């Protein structure tokens, strides 16, 4: 977001409504370029499996198995970490999420069944030098719950731990302990 509004509350609101970054005018073009590059580093485009040669430059053949995709299934969704996409389990439709929401889900997926404080979530998922607003995590979690939970009013995937923070509880396959 590039705007003339530069107060802390304006930056917080901009980030909470889904901006990946926020830059107030006047700005140095070098800072804008650095921030654009930072956002682009977080987006790793991955070509579809049949979209050309393999990583080694050779076309895949029947002898070389496809690389496994890193996916996490939970609630009503599947998080595809390689493609940076969230899809529904039922029909595979994309669920629109912001880059910041994806980053938060990625942190949760890397830390299943562990209580993460707001401060820890901000450290792991925020990617910013400035001091972010601690409650912005609550807003993102609330939005994510509406997208991934079977019943957002009774969260089973992203649970609140009173006095602790949040805990990600991925779906267990039938017969899996836990």
pLDDT 10s digits, 40-62: 676 554 444 444 444 444 444 44
pTM for this model (two decimals)? 0.57
91 Cβ neighbours under 8 A, 6+ residues apart: none
Residue 18 has pLDDT above 50, yes or no: yes
Please give the Cα distance from 164 to 113 (Å, whole number). Answer: 13
Q: Give the per-residue pLDDT at 132.
A: 55
Residue 115 DSSP symbol: E
Please give the Cα distance from 99 to 110 (Å, whole number). Answer: 16
What domains does the chain contain, in order, with CATH numbers?
Answer: 1-43 (3.40.50.2300), 99-178 (1.10.10.10)
pLDDT 10s digits, 84-138: 899 998 888 999 998 888 889 999 988 899 999 888 888 888 755 455 566 778 8
Q: Give the per-residue pLDDT at 158.
A: 95
């Amino acid at each position: 977001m590039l705007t003339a509004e530069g107060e802390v509350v304006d930056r917080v609101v901009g980030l909470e409504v889904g901006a990946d970054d926020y830059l107030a005018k006047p700005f140095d073009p070098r800072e804008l370029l650095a921030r654009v590059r930072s956002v682009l580093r977080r987006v790793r485009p991955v070509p579809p499996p049949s979209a050309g040669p393999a990583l080694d430059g050779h076309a895949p053949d029947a002898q070389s198995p496809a690389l496994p995709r890193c996916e996490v299934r939970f609630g009503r969704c599947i998080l595809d970490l390689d493609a940076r996409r969230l899809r529904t389990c039922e029909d595979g439709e994309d669920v629109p999420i912001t880059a910041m929401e994806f980053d938060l889900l990625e942190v949760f997926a890397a830390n299943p069944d562990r209580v993460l404080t707001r401060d820890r979530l901000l450290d792991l998922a925020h990617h910013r030098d400035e001091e972010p607003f601690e409650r912005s995590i609550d807003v993102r979690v609330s939005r994510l719950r509406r997208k991934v939970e079977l019943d957002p009013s009774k969260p089973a995937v992203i649970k609140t731990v009173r006095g602790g923070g949040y805990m990600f509880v991925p779906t267990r396959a039938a017969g899996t302990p836990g």
